[in-house]
Structure 1
Amino acid sequence: MEYIKYIVIAVIVIYFITRMFPTNVRNITSAQLKGELNDKNKQFVDVRTSGEYKGNHIRQFQNIPLQLLEQKINQLSKDKEIVVICQSGMRSNKACKILKKRGFKHVTNVKGGMSAWS
């Protein structure tokens, strides 16, 4: 009976870890991003609010605010890698999790977001 208790606890822990850290999400720095911006086989998505985006953005990125991502997810191709950015990397990380759950295979998060962009 004690074994079962430990197995149940292990399963619950593994479940929450996999939900918090989806597999196959690539992380890149803003310096690495510069080398990828002209890649036509990638989609670039900025998940900040439209106001933040209008204030400053990277030309290649389209704006799909995080709160609208689920509604507009059909605008994105599952055949191309998606590179996601926000202000600090937190919202883009959340967006990457959403994309992975919705079946997108190649998802990249920009660590540090626009705050690290120069």
Structure 2
Amino acid sequence: MEFSTILIIIAYALITYYLVSRFLPVKGLENLRPEQFKERVNQKSKVLLIDVREPHEFKTGHIPTAVNIPLSQLNNRVKEISMKNDVLLYCRSGMRSKQAAKILKKHGFAKMAHLQGGISTWQGATKKK
């Protein structure tokens, strides 16, 4: 087998692994439709709502009770999140919130849910900062 063929096979394997790891469900993460997510947000007791978008995105509009902890800072700020709370995560489209759940799971969090489709599917009130 030629060296270039081996490189192409390796490249395809790496791309496949990357795509599968990004799109597979995260164990312990509930995928909530917008109306389910809104119900959970409105429960307020023992719920922490985290927007994992970057600060400039958060300022353009966020769910009023949300705390902004960007995915890029989550590992360093995980101590700000109480394990006593159910953690609700959202981002723009749902991809970063899944990644955030993976990080939180590594830190021992078990009760997590995220907004399928991200804030673009949210039909409740938003607040601009």
TM-score by length of 2: 0.74
Match of 2:32 in 1: 28
Structure-to-structure mapping, 1:35-50, within 5 angstroms: 35-39=39-43, 40-50=45-55
Segment drifting more, 65-74 vs 28-37: 28-37
Work out the CA distance in 2 between the residues paired with 1:32 and 1:105: 19
Q: Which runs of 5+ in 1 are unaligned?
A: 1-12
* Contact 2:26 2:98 (C-alpha < 8 Å) held by counterparts: no
- Aligned equivalent of 1:55, options 37, 52, 60: 60
* Contact 2:50 2:87 (C-alpha < 8 Å) held by counterparts: yes
Match of 2:91 in 1: 86
TM-score by length of 1: 0.80
What letter matches 1:58 in structure 2?
I
Q: CA RMSD in A?
A: 1.7
Match of 1:8 in 2: none
Work out the CA distance in 2 between the residues paired with 1:42 and 1:73: 16
Task: Tell me the percent identity.
Answer: 34
What letter matches 2:88 in structure 1?
V
4+ runs deviating over 3 angstroms: none
Q: Which runs of 5+ in 2 are unaligned?
A: 1-16, 124-129
Match of 2:12 in 1: none
